[in-house]
Amino acid sequence: MYRTHTCGELRIQNVGQQVLISGWVQHIRDFGGTTFIDLRDRYGITQLVFDMETNKDLCEAARKLGREFVVSAEGMVRERSNKNKNIPTGEVEIEVKKLKVLNSAQTPPFTIENETDGGEELRMKYRYLDLRRNPLQHNIILRHRMALEIRKFLSDANFLEIETPYLIRSTPEGARDFIVPSRMNENQFYALPQSPQTYKQLLMVSGFDRYFQIVRCFRDEDLRADRQPEFTQIDCEMSFVEREDVLVNFEALTGHLFKAVRNIDLPPFLRMPYSEAISLYGSDKPDIRFGMQIQNLTDLAKNKGFVVFDNADQVLALVVEGAAEYTRKQLDELTEWIKRPQIGGTGLIWVKFAVDGSAKSSVDKFFTPDDLNNWKAKCNAADGDLMLVVAGSNKNIFSVAGELRLELGTRQGLRNPDHFAPLWVVDFPLLEWDDDSKRFFAMHHPFTSPIADDFALLATDPGKVRANAYDLVINGVEIGGGSIRIHDRNLQMQMFKALGFTDEEASAQFGFLLGAFEYGAPPHGGIAFGFDRFVAMMAGQNNIREFIAFPKNNSGRDVMADAPSAVSQQQLDELKVKLIPR
Ligand code: ASP
């Protein structure tokens, strides 16, 4: 027997009881006559007391323990004289009568505390120790709770969780596949799924009507803080639905999760066309926790002799309320910031509307006070506001303005992490032109249906076709995305054609899906949420690694297990794989 209680369980009501608990030694405090040990497990911390006078041997044994030793302690619960109000067990302690060392431990390479002294790389190497720390334990528990709520909610709404294969056919659309050689099928390869997309559509053809899966997906892409080569999706599909049905269902799921996990009531989700998201927020995932929408000054600012504006497609402005006081230094800093390659701006023009009604700008040589007042009126700026203006090509200037808007929002403290502002971005373009390969790519994926009004355009002007697709965006983060699918074989063939596939290529790669469309495919649509990101957001954080038990580092490595790694010659021979010597 190892325990009658956990380390997070004992309260003042338990005083006088004989108990047995097990856990890890967090702290040892030796006061000569008395030794205190904080014993920790997943549920909390309980103080153990050893008294030199009543039990010298035991007390000495306790002093010899090291941090992270695993021990069990038996004794009586008593009231603490020096209470710790910060922890639920802080009113009691155990007067230990018996102590057993279950396992010793080396001194851990970093402290197992809320704030550790371990750097990222070291923590990753000893991930099993990092996971002992409270913040990580909370993250993993949060993840579990969310998964459970999702399963309950979707199951109650008649969704069935159905597993789809991990060894599938490689389909070079989308991101890069991870591929797996097949021993039994020489010179052939499986791919790991980037998502269960085609399988979930086939399940609709099979009549399963409402499917979901909390499922691992694999994409061989360059990594960032919010990306992992393997990540988890809440993947869903529904039959006999239109866009509105999907949005309503998953707005309800999202609302339920926020209520269940954070006790937050979300407002109704706004719906915003993609074109509006770009023109007003410079992003297809706008953070609408704050206003500061992009204003278009092109008509007013061009043809006044200022060549930067005259040469630009667009002149865009942001008004920062009450920020006319920004110093020269702050403005210079922002100008440098906007020129960073990741942002891609070429410069920044400012106008300060002083409280006395006068205006001063960095382009006073080219624009009269009347001009500046016209800008002010167009943008609804007020005395005391700062206006920042950027100019450039249609291709990138909206994203530059969008990035600047986010940066200003952060600097002005307008992006409260405890405030959640969800919206659906809808009506994305169906296709995106790629200059390098001189062909269209599907912006979402090739199975997304065009909006019915735009069907005819697919043959004549594919770039103009809008997709029946939607993204769920919360606080500037894309949490999920999906679409109404094509369920008609001919339309699907037309789509492949627009993507530059010959009929043969389409049949070779997607014949199974096209075939299924000939056997009574119902209208269907769905969505997938990035589960890791969703959990991180729920905790008000953005590094998804903190919410995955065993994540990869920035080079896609598991530094703990040291993967990927070389394999034996025998394994390679079995697979008939030859390495190219380097
Ligand atoms: N399979 C899509 C994705 O992974 C989501 C969807 O359309 O349901 O992005």
Judge if 146 and 268 occupy the same domain.
yes
Please identify, by atom number, the ligand 1 atom nearest to the C-alpha of residue 469.
7
Q: Which domain holds residue 304?
A: 290-415
d(CA 266, CA 454): 33
Query: Are 542 and 523 in a shared domain?
Result: yes
Report the 3 state secondary structure along 493-540: HHHHHHCCCCHHHHHHHHHHHHHHCCCCCCCEEEEEEEHHHHHHHHCC
Question: What's the CATH number where 494 sits?
Answer: 3.30.930.10
Do 405 and 359 lie in one domain? The reply is: yes
The structure tokens listed for 160 are: 């069935």
User: How many domains are contained in the chain?
Assistant: 3
Contacts of 186 (CB under 8 A, 6+ apart): 576
Residue with CA at minimum distance from ligand 1 atom 4:
195
pLDDT at 582: 83
Of 103, 124, 156, which residue is a domain's last? Answer: 103
Q: Are residues 142 and 264 in the same domain?
A: yes
Q: Which residues contact 249 (CB under 8 A, 6 or more apart)?
A: 157, 238
**Which of 365, 391, 415 finishes a domain?**
415
What is the C-alpha to C-alpha distance for residues 383 and 323, in angstroms, rounded to an integer?
Answer: 10
501 and 445, same domain (yes or no): yes
Task: State whether the Cα torsion 249-255-257-260 is positive or negative.
Answer: negative
DSSP 383-440: TT-EEEEEEE-TTTHHHHHHHHHHHHHHHTT---TT---EEEEE--BSEEEETTTTEE
Residue 568 inside a domain? The answer is no
Instruction: Please state the pTM of the whole predicted model.
Output: 0.93
Distances in whole angstroms, Cα of residue 405 to Cα of each of 99, 515, 536: 60, 48, 23
Q: Is 475 in the pocket of ligand 1 (CB under 6 A)?
A: no
Strand-pair category, 349-353 with 359-361: antiparallel
Q: Do 153 and 59 share a structural domain?
A: no
Give a yes or no: residue 576 inside a domain: no
CA 233 to centroid of ligand 1, rounded, Å:
9
Give the residue whose CA is nearest to atom 6 of ligand 1. Answer: 482
Candidates 573, 505, 533; CA nearest to 173 is: 505
**pLDDT of the chain along its 582 residues, tens only?**
999 999 999 999 999 999 999 999 999 999 989 999 999 999 999 999 999 999 999 999 999 999 999 999 999 999 999 999 999 999 999 999 999 999 999 999 999 999 999 999 999 999 999 999 999 999 999 999 999 999 999 999 999 999 999 999 998 777 899 999 999 999 999 999 999 999 999 999 999 999 999 999 999 988 776 789 999 999 999 999 999 999 999 999 999 999 999 999 999 999 999 999 999 999 999 999 999 999 999 999 999 999 999 999 999 999 999 999 999 999 999 999 999 999 999 999 999 999 999 999 999 999 999 999 999 999 999 999 999 999 999 999 999 999 999 999 999 999 998 899 999 999 999 999 988 888 999 999 999 999 999 989 988 999 999 999 999 999 999 999 999 999 999 999 999 999 999 999 999 999 999 999 999 999 999 999 999 999 999 999 989 999 999 999 989 999 999 999 999 999 999 999 999 988
How many whole angstroms separate alpha carbon 267 and alpha carbon 254? Answer: 11
Measured in angstroms, how far is the CA atom of residue 12 from the centroid of ligand 1?
52
Domain end: 415, 433, 456, which one? 415
266 and 142 fall within a common domain: yes
The answer to whether position 569 is within a domain reads no
Rounded Cα gap, residues 360 and 379, in angstroms: 16
Q: Is residue 279 assigned to a domain?
A: no
Nearest to residue 299, comparing CAs of 279, 286, 313, 278? Answer: 313
Same domain, 234 and 218: yes
- Same domain for 312 and 406, yes or no, is yes
Q: Token pair 């856990």 is at which residue?
A: 23
d(CA 118, ligand 1 centre) in Å? 37
Amino acid identity of residue 566, one-letter, is A
**Residue type present at position 49:** V
Atom of ligand 1 nearest to the CA of 485: 7
Q: Is 530 in the pocket of ligand 1 (CB under 6 A)?
A: no
The domain spanning residue 322 has which CATH number?
Answer: 3.30.1360.30
Walk across the sheet containing 359-361 and list its strands: 295-296, 314-320, 386-392, 349-353, 359-361
| Shared-domain flag, residues 536 and 432 | yes
Do 311 and 388 fall within a single domain? yes
Pocket of ligand 1 contains residue 483 by CB under 6 Å: yes
CATH code, 27:
2.40.50.140
pLDDT per residue as tens digits for the range 128-173:
999 999 999 999 999 999 999 999 999 999 999 999 999 999 987 7
Digit-coded pLDDT (tens) for 404-454? 999 999 999 999 988 999 999 999 999 999 888 889 999 999 999 999 999
